[in-house]
Structure 1
Amino acid sequence: MREPAALPGLHALQAGADWRCVDLLSDLHLQADLPRTAAAFHRYLQHTPADAVLILGDLFEVWVGDDAADAGFEAQCAQWLHEAAQRRWIGFMAGNRDFLVGPEFLARCGLHALPDPTVLAFGTQRLLLTHGDALCIDDVEYQQFRAQVRSPEWQTRFLAQPLAERRKIAAHLRQASEQKKRNEGLESYADVDDTSARRWLEDAEAATLIHGHTHRPASHRLGADKSRHVLSDWDLDNAASGHPQRAEVLRLTQQGMTRVDLALAAPA
């Protein structure tokens, strides 16, 4: 049996005194060729009643450096986020697709960095937040790749290359990932290891884990007193291919949590 993952440090986030409603979302994979999904995110930012929005990774399909937001689709997304951040607190946690989002982009948008993992103290609730990829320990190949690209040395070398070259490398990696999905199917990808999830919760002195990454939205019991809740991915552009139309947030209030399906309100 594989050794469960250890909790890699811990950041604490105390909810603001005025926070009555907190939204959590992840895995939007925003990109220019998925316009309905991007438009749904823009509408969401304009109309959500949440006092705080916590984005737990993979907001973008790919991020090759903060200079990518100087023009085009990324610049438009930056403007949406900047406008929304004037009205509410927005936190951003890096995912496996957008781990190169840096302080320049966060400052430009008015976003607050959320280290992975973070414990959110919200009223009487203590919730452990993570993107989720670090807990998929059975995918040994991915964990090795993750360790490589998260190293400062690799990131320095990559970001030193011209933007056009970085985009080419990212496009190649995306193509390889999509080919693997077509060949093996999403169900072949490793899920979060429950033993590791329980260990993280115990170490964090929390009872509830919230994460994304796996594109398997559901809630799971982890014994009698612990649970993990998987955030939905977003996709409103691929109905013709049979992909489920999803755009969901997990909404926290003092009364508990509910899943809000924004896909139901999306224009046809």
Structure 2
Amino acid sequence: MTVQPVDRFAECIAPANWQAVDVISDLHLQAGEPETFEAWAAYLRRPAHERADALFILGDLFEVWVGDDVLSTHTSPSADHAFWRACAEALQAYSAHAPVYFMPGNRDFLLGPAGLDACGMQGLSDPTVLVFLDQRWLLSHGDALCLADTDYMRFRAQVREPAWQHRFLAQPLAQREAIARELRAQSEARKRSTGNDPSLWADVDTQAAKAWLRHAEAHTLIHGHTHRPATHDLGDGLQRVVLSDWELSARPARAEVLRLDAKGLHRRPLRP
């Protein structure tokens, strides 16, 4: 399978006064993982002198998102609905001090305009070039480049179709949540079949990543999705930087922020 061509890369041009930006992905926030939520909320509450000038979230902020109405429903609200609202409130509070940019992942691609507004976030296309500190950084969730996972790529193409999304969102909320639970169960079963080892999951295709970088006139691709934090030298002056996932209940716990500033790229682990 080949990667879908990108005719023109979207651009996010940083204001001249920005000195640093933070990039994160794959927090998979959910009510059943309170430790991860608390670490993330603590990160958002840091004092102003510790904050970057902007926060970029490259997908899978949420474990699942079945529609923006999870933030507004008051009919038999579940613990999950209250959790999503708590997430939105935390993001709104942070965005009052620094802009937050969100790129959809494979878990939360249904987060729409109403959800973005409720969270105080600005949407980003996947991929997007961040123009910052006289460099072009290519940002992506990363799943569109995992070409060897042909089953997923077919599924991805299906659910990203506007017609499919319209039909799905037209269903009652309870039905959408039931479908999401079934899809998550299937995903977990698939992970268990590989020993839940990310090193055995499909990875980003190197040639496709290099083609994107050349077309975007960038030297560094930053992405998540694979849960394999590392920096890969692609040759020809190109590199691929993989973000960490977050799971504070794991031992050892995982939570890391990637900061971009005048000194380059810095991984900043968060301690539980």
Structure 2-normalised TM-score?
A: 0.92
- SS across alignment from 1:209: strand
Cα distance in 1, alignment partners of residues 213 and 37 from structure 2 = 33
Aligned with 1:69 (options 48, 68, 71):
71
Aligned residues of 1:6 and 1:196 also touching (Cα < 8 A): no
Task: State whether structure 2 residue 202 is matched by structure 1 residue 190.
Answer: yes
Structure 1 residue 68, shift from structure 2 partner:
1.0
| Unaligned residue ranges in structure 2 (runs of 5+) | 73-80
The number of aligned residues is 259
Corresponding position of 2:140: 130
Aligned with 2:256 (options 248, 263, 267):
248
Identity across matched positions, percent: 53
Cα distance in 2, alignment partners of residues 4 and 152 from structure 1 = 20
Corresponding position of 1:217: 229
- SS across alignment from 1:258: strand
Corresponding position of 2:152: 142
Cα distance in 2, alignment partners of residues 88 and 158 from structure 1 = 33
Aligned with 1:82 (options 83, 92, 104):
92
Instruction: Output one character per residue of 1:221-256: Cα deviation in whole Å (capped at 9) or x when no partner.
Output: 0113100100000000133xxxx4110011000121
Over 3 Å counting, the alpha-carbon distance change for 1:66 and 1:219 in structure 2 is: same
Amino acid at match of 1:256: G
Cα distance in 2, alignment partners of residues 9 and 113 from structure 1 = 17
Corresponding position of 1:26: 25
Structure 1 residue 108, shift from structure 2 partner:
1.6
Corresponding position of 1:55: 57
- SS across alignment from 1:222: strand
Structure 1 residue 69, shift from structure 2 partner:
1.8
- SS across alignment from 1:17: coil
Amino acid at match of 1:39: E
Cα distance in 2, alignment partners of residues 254 and 189 from structure 1 = 34
Amino acid at match of 2:100: I
Cα distance in 2, alignment partners of residues 211 and 84 from structure 1 = 23
Aligned residues of 1:25 and 1:248 also touching (Cα < 8 A): yes
Amino acid at match of 2:230: A
Corresponding position of 1:13: 12
Aligned residues of 1:251 and 1:259 also touching (Cα < 8 A): yes
Task: State whether structure 2 residue 106 is matched by structure 1 residue 96.
Answer: yes
Amino acid at match of 1:249: V
Cα distance in 2, alignment partners of residues 8 and 53 from structure 1 = 26
In terms of mean alpha carbon deviation, does 110-119 or 2-11 score higher? 2-11
Aligned residues of 2:203 and 2:226 also touching (Cα < 8 A): yes
